[in-house]
Amino acid sequence: MKKLTITTLFILLLNATGSFSQQIPNGGFESWTTTNFFEEPEPYNTSNSLSYMLGDTVVVAKSQDSYAGNYSARLETMAFGSDTVTGLMMVGELRGENIIGGVPFTTRPASLIGYVKYNLLGGDEFTIICIFTRQGLPIGTIQQYYSGTQENFTQITMPVDWIIPFLTPDSLKVVIANTSTYTTGHVGSTVYLDHFQFSNNQAFPNGEFENWTILNGLEPDNWTTLNYITSTSGTPYATKTNDKHGGDWAIRIENITSFVGETIGYLTNGDFQGFSSIGGLEVERNPFLVSGWYKYLPVGTDTAQAAILTYYYDISGDSAVILEQQIINLPPASSYTYFEVPLLYNSGPPVDTINISFAAGLMENGLTEGSTLLLDDIEIQYYPVSVSENKLKKNELKVYPNPFRDFIDISDPTGSANGGTFRLYDNLGREMFSVVLFNTQGSASRILLPQLNQGLYLYRIEYGDEVINGKLLQAY
């Protein structure tokens, strides 16, 4: 049996289909750009990271409608599809039901005074909570709730309930929201805050709401991160690194817990909608294989993952139709290790978009803080497409099962492949098996295969001047 070399196979495919190469933009993570996200009031963490992720807008904003000075803080509850995000400001970070961190605070004021106006819908309650602690122990609190409508800036006085007498606090934590539930509320509920200070003249954190910071970060071109979520706490989770496989740079993803307690460590070539990824790279042919190089340093038994989604846009239904989804685990690797994700779909309708995503942990279990994934040299390969293949689709020729074990069936209702040759190659282009096809018309024709290792195989059916190429997975 004459064997085809890799070069010969490439020439055959080139002659049959024409050359095609469409690589993943910035697959080597060589290109990075500083990106502005949104403004945050100092020193607060806000729910802007969630609203920005869902709708590219903010629910906590700087407003020129102020009581004093140039600005006030405006909190609004907004809808994003089926999700609702309420305006939330926090000095500190959520860990379960507790708030950690805060700002230094060293006096015992009797009350907090501020100016507010609000329009609260459907029973929503504007909420202000302050927690005064000493060495982590709560020794005093403020808890105030307001409902209804206040059209003009009006002074409010909120007394401090000192739980433990005499002790002086060392820190202050603050929660301000335009609903008492923090996570739900009625769309359109709005609160303005300005000119907050304590009765003993100790400053409330940015109480005039004059100081705002533009949140920005160094982002990999043509890829999307959620860096703005962890950056509110001062640390982006996805960063540029010279610990690379090729070129000058790679990307380093370390799982970091955000101020709301969610651990983040995701990357996609599409866009995030919540913690799901949509969109991706527009392609002109069906993808055959996504590959790349990675290092993974987990905490405990954590495992990284790569997820590939292909789909097409259905004009008649005005919707994206998923064609294939593949998820593989990326186990621990202290040096750069090759990985590949085979894609089995190669029929019509053709793929028009491929979404490539990574997580530095098991997505279904929640990510583990500290687990670190490095990625570099991500590439994509495509199925060859020809007029002959399109003809064969019309004849409904099918090769199955896929994945296979020790045989395959070829269904050829018209018998058009009779007398043709079926060839099977490994993923290096080495011919592993060939057979001439007879009596394919009618019921499926079964082909017994030699014992093969698990992995990805290419097949080629040649009959006359027509050719069809495809892919099979030995997964048993």
Three-state secondary-structure class, residue 106: coil
Q: In whole numbers, what is the pLDDT of the chain averaged over residues?
A: 86
Residue 274 in this model has a pLDDT that exceeds 70: no
Query: What is the band of 187 on the pLDDT scale with cuts at 50, 70, 90?
Result: very high
| CA 269/CA 278 separation, integer angstroms | 9
Residue 159 in this model has a pLDDT that exceeds 90: yes
CB 274 within 8 A of CB 83: yes
Per-residue model confidence (pLDDT) at position 361: 93
CATH number of the domain where residue 400 is located: 2.60.40.3080
Residue 252 in this model has a pLDDT that exceeds 50: yes
Query: What is the band of 316 on the pLDDT scale with cuts at 50, 70, 90?
Result: low
Please confirm whether the linkage preceding 43 is cis (ω < 30° from 0): yes
CB 473 within 8 A of CB 456: yes
User: For the chain, what percent of residues have pLDDT higher than 70?
Assistant: 88
> What residues contact 394, with CB distance under 8 A and at least 6 apart?
none
| H or E element that contains 322 | strand 319-330
Choice among 228-232, 351-355, 385-389 with the minimum mean pLDDT: 385-389
Per-residue model confidence (pLDDT) at position 106: 95
Per-residue model confidence (pLDDT) at position 428: 63
Per-residue model confidence (pLDDT) at position 99: 84
Query: Which of the listed ranges 170-184, 211-225, 315-329, 425-439 does the model predict with the highest average pLDDT?
Result: 211-225
Tell the residue number behind the tokens 């096809």, with chain if given: 437
Query: What is the band of 413 on the pLDDT scale with cuts at 50, 70, 90?
Result: confident
Choice among 51-65, 304-318, 337-351, 419-433 with the minimum mean pLDDT: 419-433
Per-residue model confidence (pLDDT) at position 15: 35
Domain span at residue 176 reads: 43-210
Domain finish residue from 185, 210, 235: 210
| CA 357/CA 412 separation, integer angstroms | 37
The backbone region for 360, taken as left when phi is positive above 0, alpha when psi lies in -120 to 50, beta otherwise, is alpha
Query: What is the band of 71 on the pLDDT scale with cuts at 50, 70, 90?
Result: very high
| CA 298/CA 368 separation, integer angstroms | 8
Of residues 121, 127, 128, 36, the one with CA closest to residue 79: 121
User: For the chain, what percent of residues have pLDDT higher than 90?
Assistant: 53
Residue 18 in this model has a pLDDT that exceeds 80: no
374 belongs to a structural domain: yes
CB 370 within 8 A of CB 299: yes
Q: Which two tokens mark 461?
A: 């059916």
Residue 94 in this model has a pLDDT that exceeds 90: no
Residue 291 in this model has a pLDDT that exceeds 80: yes
Residue 292 shares a structural domain with residue 409: no
CATH number of the domain where residue 130 is located: 2.60.120.890
Residue 448 shares a structural domain with residue 351: no
Per-residue model confidence (pLDDT) at position 454: 83
Q: How many CA atoms lie within 13 A of 308 on its CB side?
A: 25
| CA 150/CA 191 separation, integer angstroms | 9
Q: Distance between alpha carbon 92 and the CA centroid of its chain, in Å?
A: 25
String of DSSP letters for 417-430: TTT-EEEEEETTS-
Per-residue model confidence (pLDDT) at position 4: 36
Query: What is the band of 436 on the pLDDT scale with cuts at 50, 70, 90?
Result: confident
Residue 297 shares a structural domain with residue 433: no
33 belongs to a structural domain: no
Mean predicted confidence (pLDDT) in 93-112: 88
Per-residue model confidence (pLDDT) at position 172: 97
Per-residue model confidence (pLDDT) at position 19: 38
Q: Which two tokens mark 351?
A: 């793929």
Domain finish residue from 382, 413, 429: 382
29 belongs to a structural domain: no
Number of folded domains in the chain? 3
Q: Express each pLDDT in 24-44 by its tens digit.
A: 999 999 999 999 989 999 999
Domain finish residue from 210, 226, 253: 210
Residue 400 shares a structural domain with residue 343: no
